[in-house]
Chain A
Amino acid sequence: MNKFSKTLPLLTAGLLTGSLLLSGCSTKSPEQASAPSAEQQDTTQAASLQINDPWAKAADKGMSAAFGTLRNTGQQPVELVKVTEEQHRSPVQLHEMTGSGTEMTMKEHQGPVEIKPGAEVELVPGGMHFMYMDLAKPLVASETSTLTLHFADGSSKAVDFPIRNYSGAKERYEDHAGMEDKHGNGEHGGH
């Protein structure tokens, strides 16, 4: 199936599996959209998506993660298909967690992430997150990392993620494709 590759974009646009069913993320009571007006149809998915409290975990090299709350403020579903980062030159994936308690591992989420109108997806340590796969430059606390979120309608949005020290988010990385984890201990990078 989907082979993990650092060079492939995070998510392949395409199959939509209806509502999001992912461990560690909460999808709050979506308010169903009424018939969209012409105005609303003009609104891009990028414009509808609001990100609250974004932040990324400081790391010298290797892997790290970014978090925040994605909220669809629009009347139409939003589909996040890919995330890119230029500054620190790392491929970025969307990860989800499997398992429970201290036995959790993370893996790449398959397919786009759909957020219904009024709904939220929380990216949190121990839950869903954006994953820097191989940092070419360190994520220095107090600085920011700009992630570009790409949506199914072709729109995109650059969001500054303030970088902070954090010693949690050390989940094990499980590579379903069976590739060797070249990052050694299979943990998020950092300190």
Chain B
Amino acid sequence: MAEQQPTVPSRRLVLGGSAAAALSGALVGFGAGRLDAPASAAAEPAQDPSDPADLSPYGAYQRGILEEPQTHGIFLGLDIQWPKAKDERRDRLRSLLRMLGEDAARLMSGDGVLADSEPEMASARGRLSITVGLSRDAAAQAKSTADLSMLEPLPEFSGDKLEPRFGQADLLVQFCGDDPTALAHALRAVRKNLTGLATVRFEQHGFTTPPGQAEHPHAFRNLFGQLDGIANPRTTAREGAVFGHGDEQSWLPGGTVLVLRRIRMDLERWDEVDRPGRDFALGRRQSDGSPLSGQHPDDPVDLSATTELGLPVIAGNAHVALAKPVQAAETMWRRGFSYTDGGESGLLFACFQRDARTAFVPVQRRLAASDAMNQWITHTGSGIYGILPGMSQEAQLGAALFAE
């Protein structure tokens, strides 16, 4: 579709991959107002929010969301040690977020944090980003007008084997970067500063592929050997799926919703599956990521394509057949990282969306019910977080939660 030709005059928002296909089909739940791109968008190519010149810590959105994923990602989940006095909790949340925002701004600028014993390790090279989110209950302490119903705990899905140690935390800090040393320093600096204020529930480390070494500009090889990320929304479609539009914002304007799932992948049993079985389960070829209904990785996933015998080329229970959005509101931006941990392998599945109730939840319901890949994957961790809007030199991280 129009996705590869952003200069083609179009009044449609540009959607990536299958999301674009969803647009051309059923448009259930997709407000007509959102189809109207600004008039100027037809004339000039839209600025690509996924490709910023630098990762400045300031802006309408936090960093580490729209950008193409860095090589390393760490998800730090913490439980806040609230003051005993209930009336002190709002102030505690505010000061904690102010500190996190200041730490993030300094680290993303290549400086050590205050009280840093190793400021020499700080480096902004390697696209360091630090992104902060809150659970519904933590955000509730701010007593703001934010839409906390968007952060309600996820329902149970069939097949879930969730472990509390990878479960919902009050506070989530995502660290991403291409330089593992700068990343380790940032993680340590932030953990140190949170001592006495929050206890760590989990620290989950993941990785993708270094920039310039990927086969596909928008995808990495996951640990099953598949190219993952091809049909992800791009450019303005990504921005719209993540942050919403106009009067359809996320839980806070400029904020978004992150779903983090730890998914174990059984590589030993996957080893037993040969190529056709693997490609059948996914609906795409392991070789180059192309859909079984096409030749090129960026060809559309065509669920109506049939073989000479009249059978669907992509099985109805193939992963991509079930995951593909059936309406635009299901579109999510997947930004996950592979992990290996003591002999275990898997995916730190992370997706950002305006509202998980219309995106992750229905898609995961379909996958949990019948995804052909289910026999090799197990969900062991889960959480949903309200990612805060961006900050500025004047407005601290989380300022919108405390606006009087």
Contacts and interface: CB of A to CB of B under 8 A. Distances in A.
Interface of A: 53, 55, 57-58, 67, 140-144, 162, 164-166, 168, 191
Interface residues of B, number: 16
B contact face: mostly helix, strand, loop, or mixed: helix
B196 A58 contact: yes
B193 A164 contact: yes
B115 A57 contact: yes
B115 A142 contact: no
B277 to A, nearest CB: 53
Interface string B41-77: 0000000000000000000000000000000000000
Interface stretch (B3-11, B92-100, B264-272, B367-375): B92-100
B102 interface: yes
Contact of B98 (A55, A67, A142, A165): A142
A165 B195 contact: yes
B149 interface: no
B114 A141 contact: no
B115 A55 contact: yes
B196 A141 contact: yes
A141 B102 contact: no
Most buried by B among A53, A58, A164: A164
A191 B194 CA distance: 14
Contact of B99 (A53, A142, A166, A191): A142
B398 to A, nearest CB: 12
Most buried by B among A58, A142, A165: A142
A136 B99 CA distance: 23
Contacts of B275: none
B192 interface: yes
A165 B196 contact: yes
Interface string B70-94: 0000000000000000000000100
A144 B102 CA distance: 13
B393 interface: no
A164 B115 contact: yes
14 contacts: A55-B114, A55-B115, A67-B115, A141-B194, A142-B98, A142-B193, A142-B197, A162-B99, A162-B114, A164-B113, A164-B115, A164-B193, A165-B192, A165-B193
Contact of B95 (A53, A143, A165, A191): A143
Given A141-B99, A143-B95, A164-B115, 15 more contacts: A53-B114, A67-B115, A140-B95, A140-B196, A141-B194, A141-B195, A141-B197, A142-B95, A142-B96, A142-B197, A162-B99, A164-B113, A165-B115, A166-B115, A168-B117
Interface string B93-124: 00110110010000000000111010000000
Most buried by A among B115, B193, B197: B115
Nearest to A144: B95
Contacts of A53: 114
Contacts of A58: 196
Q: Which 7 A-B pairs have the closest CB atoms?
A: A164-B115, A142-B99, A55-B114, A166-B115, A142-B95, A165-B195, A142-B96
Contacts of B113: 164
A36 B197 CA distance: 49
Contact of B114 (A140, A143, A164, A191): A164
Interface in B100-158: 102, 113-115, 117
A191 to B, nearest CB: 8
Interface in B177-206: 192-197
A111 B196 CA distance: 37
Nearest to B88: A140
B69 to A, nearest CB: 29
Nearest to A168: B117
B294 to A, nearest CB: 53
Contacts of B95: 140, 142-144
Contacts of A144: 95
Contacts of B197: 140-142
Nearest to A165: B195
Contacts of B196: 58, 140-141, 165, 191
A165 B192 CA distance: 7
Contacts of A168: 117
B187 to A, nearest CB: 15
A55 B98 CA distance: 14
Nearest to B96: A142
B98 to A, nearest CB: 7
Contacts of A67: 115
A143 B93 CA distance: 10
A141 B193 contact: yes
Contacts of B192: 165
A10 B196 CA distance: 31
Contacts of B117: 166, 168
B158 to A, nearest CB: 41
Nearest to B192: A165
Contacts of A141: 99, 193-197
Nearest to A169: B115
